């Protein structure tokens, strides 16, 4: 997993702007998984979501549903 995360193509959110603030990056991984990390700590930990988890997470963000 570490190798896949290190070799992944990470993309910063278009909402991050250019001010160097708190930003997240995402990467598509094998098996439809999605990696998420802090752009300021690229060597740090990353969250890895299964396709179903990612779909639920992004749906929750878009709809602002409570957990």
pLDDT, mean of each 10-residue run, the chain (67 residues): 90 72 89 94 93 93 74
CA distance to 16, 21, 33, 44, per residue, from 51 (Å): 24, 28, 5, 22
The candidate with the shortest Cα–Cα distance to 57, out of 42, 47, 45, 44, is 47
Q: What pTM was estimated for this model as a whole?
A: 0.80
Range of the domain at 33: 2-9+23-63
For the chain, the domain total comes to 1
Asked whether residue 16 is domain-assigned, the answer is no
Asked whether residue 57 is domain-assigned, the answer is yes
């Amino acid at each position: 997993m570490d190798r896949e995360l290190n070799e992944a193509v990470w993309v910063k959110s278009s909402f991050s702007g250019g001010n160097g603030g708190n930003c997240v990056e995402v990467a598509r991984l094998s098996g439809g998984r999605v990696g998420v990390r802090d752009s300021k700590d690229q060597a740090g930990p990353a969250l890895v979501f299964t396709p179903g988890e990612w779909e639920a997470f992004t749906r929750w963000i878009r709809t602002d549903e409570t957990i």
